[in-house]
Amino acid sequence: MDRRLYDAAVLGNKISLLNLLREDALLLDRFITGRYPETPLHVASMLGHLEFVDEVLARKPELAKEVDSRNSSPLHLASAKGYLQVAKSLLQVNPDMCLVSDIDGRNPLHIAAMKGHLGLLRELVQARPWAARVLMEQGETILHACVRCNQLEALKLLVERVSDHEFVNCKNGDGNTILHLAIAAKQTEAINLLISSTAIDVNCVNEDGFTALDLLSQNQRDATDKEIVESLRRMGVTHATDHPLSDSQLKAIRTKILLSTWDQHQPNALPKPKKRKHGKRLVSSNKNGDWLERKRNTLMLVASLLAAMAFQAGVNPPSGVWQDNDQSEESNHRAGLSVLADNYPFVYTFFLICNTTGFLASLSIILLLISGLPLRLRFFMWVLMVVMWVAITAMALAYMGCLVAVTPDHSYSSLIKILGCATLVWIGLMLVLLLGHTIRLIFRLIKCLFKLAMRLVKLISGPHAL
């Protein structure tokens, strides 16, 4: 942006703008035909210079739909600062900008609600009511944003204007409704508003299996908890869990609900509590998925390297290929064929079998990993690891064949000693791994049989106990 035009927008100097337009009539058109980090209308809207905004809109109303580097329109900036009159001018030109989302997935209505600019929010809702139903990132509604930012008046306004059963009971990416968020934050007024003036499902459960009442302390030591529990009880709220939760569990659950999806720029910075249900620890599906993903990536990398090695050894066999044709009785060979195949047929056959086995095993792993099959179970990943075991062993044997082929006769004794020691070490390592996996499998089998026996005992003793 030209420095003089930028200064005029910052100061809201309408006279300077007119002087610049006399010098260059196409000055504002360039912001429409090109891509700029921001326009003069963005700067003036952010600072609330109404006369400057009106002058720009009168000359180039198309600038109202231009977005900056964060995909924010001038209406986004005016909504964030709460400039009602500027927002009205922008709405008269292009009310559809209410539907445009910025880089964080928020439209002007979301921003106005989170900032608590009620008058501006009312104008935006009146201009485009369905813009309030647009979901933000992670599936959150504008009602979720009001509860997170503790904007009770904005929540009241939206409940009166755009709420219905489906919208009020909408869940975010973690399966939490606005009632879950309000109770986790202990917002008593918001809770009373939701249960008395909306069609909120008070017994709705989130993805962890908790209702709103489960998020409150069972012993009700806190006066706020008592008040909330009494309000919920009057609405017929029940517990979803069979066992009461400890204070530490409740704190972890509330923290998870309040922090999830809040920092959209740094999602990995938020701790994710471990899931608990019926007082027992459950393995997180995310943790299992991460384990499988790491295994898949490792197998793909190793399989690709082994396949490349095997292909290279196959097309360039040990000892090379003949460079000429010789049809004599002493040496009958043709150019391009393997020297090892003519001089040591048995060694070449051994090398060919091992190298081909390793190559095909590696290709099989790659094919299975890119096939799109649902290889999400640990059993399938273990199968792939066994195939990888075969591929690595085959490549090791092919390497031994290569050494035998290229080693001269006077060094065979040293080679045999080295290969013998290496073979013993390799066999020992394989036996240790096999023993470890076998013991692990036996323990798992015993555990499964024990659980099955306990179930059978309960089933057999059940009728007698009655």
CATH, range 1-134: 1.25.40.20
DSSP 263-282: -SS-GGGS--PPPEETTEE-
Q: 0.85 exceeded by the pTM?
A: no
Q: From first to last of the 466 residues of the chain, give the pLDDT tens digit.
A: 688 998 999 999 999 999 999 998 888 888 888 778 889 999 999 999 999 999 999 999 999 999 988 899 999 999 999 999 999 999 999 999 999 999 988 999 999 999 999 999 999 999 999 899 898 877 889 999 999 899 999 999 998 887 778 888 888 887 888 888 888 888 888 888 888 888 888 788 877 777 777 777 544 456 666 777 776 766 666 665 544 555 555 566 656 666 655 444 343 333 344 334 333 333 344 444 445 556 667 778 888 888 888 888 888 888 777 777 776 666 666 777 877 777 778 888 888 888 888 888 888 888 877 776 655 555 666 777 788 888 888 888 888 878 877 777 777 677 777 878 888 887 888 788 778 878 887 888 888 888 888 878 767 765 444 3
Tell me if 284 sits within 8 A of 272, measured CB to CB: yes
Q: How far is it, in rounded angstroms, from Cα 56 to Cα 37?
A: 18
User: What whole-number distance in Å separates Cα of residue 336 and Cα of residue 342?
Assistant: 12
Dihedral pair phi/psi, residue 387, rounded to 5°:
-60, -40
Contact 138, 173 (CB under 8 A): yes
Domain boundaries, the chain: 1-134, 283-321+334-406, 411-466
Distance between first and last Cα of the chain: 85
